Chain A
Amino acid sequence: MDPSTRGPSLDWRRVAALVAWTLLLGSAGAEAQEPDRIQVTVDRNQVALGDQLYLTIRIEGSPDEPPGLPELPDFRVLSRGERRDMQINNGRVSNSTSYNYLLIPTRAGSFEIGPATALIDGAEVRSRPFTIQVTGAEGQSDEQDRDLFVTSTVSTDRPWQGQQVIYTWRFYSRVAVGQGSIESMDFGSDVVVEDLGDVRQFSTTIDGVQYSVNEVRKALFPQRSGEVTLPQTQLRVQVEVEQARRPSRRRSIFDEFDSLLGSGGRWATKYLLTEPLTLDVRRLPPAPDGWNGLVGEFDIQASLSRRELQVGQSATLEVQVGGSGNVQFLSEPDIPELPAFKIYPDQPDASTDRSGRLLTGRKVFRRALVPLVAGPLDVPPIDLVYFDPELGDYATRSTERIDLEVTPADGEEELMLTESLAPTTGKVAVRILADDILPIRRAAAGIVSVAPQGWRLWVWFACGLLPPFMYLALLAHHRRERRYAADRTLRRRQRALRDALSVSRKLRSGAGPASAAEASRIVRRYVGDKLGVEGSALTPSEAEAALVRAGVESALAARCRTLLERLEAAQYGLAPVAGGGGLAAETSTEGLSDLIKTLDRQLRGRQP
């Protein structure tokens, strides 16, 4: 048979195999196309102690809340923010959120980074765990071979309680470093810490390699016996990593410009930790009398400003106490009784020196001694007791006895001095043994607010603002009264219009003689008030003349005269008012008001 004729059976096997491969690849492809919805990555999985690594948790989509970090007890974790990304692939929009963390290992070893968890669309997703290797300083390389490292040392690890221990922290670097800060140098409450000068900078060579060194020194005073641990000190520093990556490349002129402009390299943050130190603090033996807590090496000196003086004259006794150690406890030593002297204490002077290798201090106590009796006197030795760590026991230093010769004072002065000092001899200054705050208040004033509130505040504002306005009103009234008093016609002139209009409104309607008499009286009175004359006595002609003299137009004055004449005629029955040439209209309220207002307008401003 021709093989070609058996083709179909072979084709079926090939097809089956092809389908199987396709299914296999398809399933693999499908698995590959379904990425983890949460991924935890690090920039490197092997790191040296003192370096740091970046950990990123990337979550597809929008998580309901920030992810839960895995347990990381052997690392210090610092958050470095989050970032949201959005991608568009074939018209499909996807977004993701990345949370960044900085991990600083605190010890060497192999550590498994457990799964991080996140809540996405109500479902919890977990990442895959992985392992990180942290090598120690010796595992990475010899300490001296590193570019930068920190050390901490103490002057003694078996100090006595209260003994001065010099703690020296150094930062060695042989690469360019930028800004740095010591983030934690806390020694706890078991140790009293005193600074020893500023940060020292110098260069040193270790096994032929030159390092730049920054040194910080502290004086520590352990306060209790037993084991005292000084925790790790952490330094954060900016390091130029670009230079370290290309050490062999020759620097060009452009590199110098880059360096000058500050864009020469890339900077990274490094965290450097010292090893914790342990002090075995020894307990002090039982203290003798006179010991006031001094531990270290101290000295005492005494001097007197004058050795020969008269009764009543004063000499200054100066006692200097100083040395190295816990100088905070420097206090005035017990000065023996000096019954032959009147003593005036002075303020002590204290000074502390932090610039040397040790913390040292000095305190000077002064007293004015006034001898009360004549003869050879002396100031006995003054003792200073302290604990000497070198000896491991208490030591005593003493001043030398100071002799002085006191001669009698001149007669009267001596007597006066003796009399004045005698009543106070033996008295001592009041010593404050303890202090405390004063007790609380109980008075009901504690429940009342002092600041005015609500309507009381408005009352205070009114009391503050009303008086000036009231004064201005009073001032205006006062001035007007004075003007009225000076010019008796002024009040009539000012009120003429108002009075005339007021009376005219009450004018009785009608055309009888009574209405005419009333209207005539209104007009005459207005003219009289306005011109400062007796209006009722004016004849129509006199009224016209007076108005013209006052500046009223002659036509208006003539109109006024005519009206008054017609009103007189109507009043005495000589001519009827009604229908009498419009007299009724003129003697109405409106007519009179109009005439008076017109007169007032012309008289206003023309009157003196």
Chain B
Amino acid sequence: MGRVAILVLSGAVAAVPVLSQDDGLPVVTEAQPAEGPPAAPEPAELWVNGNAAYEAGDFGRAVALYAEMREMGVDNGHLHYNLGNAYLRAGELGRSIASYRRSLRLLPRDEDANANLTFARRSARDEIAPPEPPVLVRTVLFWHYSLAPVEVLRSAVLVGLGFWIVLASRLYRPASEVLRWSAVCLLVVGLALAGSLVAHAAFSSPVAVVLPQEIDLHAAAGEGSVVRFQLHAGTEVRVIEQRPEWVRIELPDGERGWSRREYLEIVE
């Protein structure tokens, strides 16, 4: 076997399967104890088996394995990307679009996820633009839209650290212009990143994706209320209010309606 990459995961070295790559195809070699009940599959094993199921055309099983990884707490853009592919192949347009959106939230500059999301959106029936900010806003606040929240957090911490180090250095070299302007630049960048973090945490509006082929949007939260309009699978709308069983959404033209929660997948 050519290249061997061993993944050491914290705290569970013995139970973790070894991922081996040969010509790009991962292979799982079991590292299970010989006795006792079978251990629960590890994320690495689910990942490899999910990919194999996808390649074999068993998209339902691939979805189940990827979803199990999510339940185990694994959360990254690559997993959501594969999940989106599996959902799309399985014919679940709404869930695939939701997964691609989650993938892009964690990997905002991922061109593959963007391309697949565009491809999936072409299958949506409603001619409704997805809830995205205007191009001008995206251009001006480029760091907010091109960095994942976790990247913003890490950048903010590192820039903050640099700012305080530069500020501390100025105590001993107060006349240095380089240090002064460095501190000013780092302060501006840090404030921009901190603002982005606050915006991610407090002002980001969740988006809902329609799951069934067709749903009714009611004037009020109740089956008996008037059906105002209908939406179809894959349509993305902005969520403005959530209740245990009902969700209120808004279309780009301002029209609002209530839908049962199970008909929507909400991407926070």
Contact = CB atoms under 8 A, between A and B. Distances in A.
A464 interface: yes
B7 A440 contact: no
A467 B26 CA distance: 43
A447 B74 CA distance: 6
Interface residues of B, number: 49
B258 interface: no
Nearest to B5: A444
A474 to B, nearest CB: 5
B73 A470 contact: no
Contacts, number: 94
The DSSP consensus for interface residues of chain B is: helix
Interface string A165-192: 0000000000000010100000000000
Nearest to A447: B43
Given A437-B120, A449-B74, A450-B75, 4 more contacts: A438-B115, A442-B51, A447-B7, A470-B164
A554 to B, nearest CB: 46
A3 interface: no
Contact of A451 (B150, B160, B172): B150
A435 B120 CA distance: 11
A182 to B, nearest CB: 10
B181 to A, nearest CB: 18
Interface string B23-37: 011100000000000
B129 interface: no
A445 B85 CA distance: 17
A485 B55 CA distance: 74
Interface of B: 5, 7, 19, 24-26, 43-44, 47, 51, 54-55, 69, 73-79, 81-82, 85-86, 88, 106, 112, 115-116, 119-120, 148-150, 153-154, 156-157, 160-161, 163-165, 167-168, 171-172, 226-227
Interface in A429-484: 435-453, 460, 463-464, 467-468, 470-471, 474-475, 478
Given A450-B148, A474-B168, A440 B51 contact: yes
21 contacts: A435-B119, A437-B119, A440-B54, A441-B82, A442-B26, A444-B7, A448-B74, A449-B76, A450-B77, A452-B153, A453-B73, A460-B154, A464-B160, A467-B160, A467-B164, A467-B165, A470-B164, A470-B168, A471-B167, A474-B168, A474-B171
Nearest to B116: A437
B161 A467 contact: yes
Interface of A: 179, 181, 435-453, 460, 463-464, 467-468, 470-471, 474-475, 478
B75 A449 contact: yes
Contacts of A451: 75, 149-150
A448 B167 contact: no
B92 to A, nearest CB: 14
The 4 closest A-B pairs by CB, nearest first: A467-B164, A446-B78, A447-B43, A441-B78
Contact of A450 (B85, B106, B116, B120): B106
A518 B161 CA distance: 52
Nearest to A439: B85
Nearest to A451: B150
A447 B119 contact: no
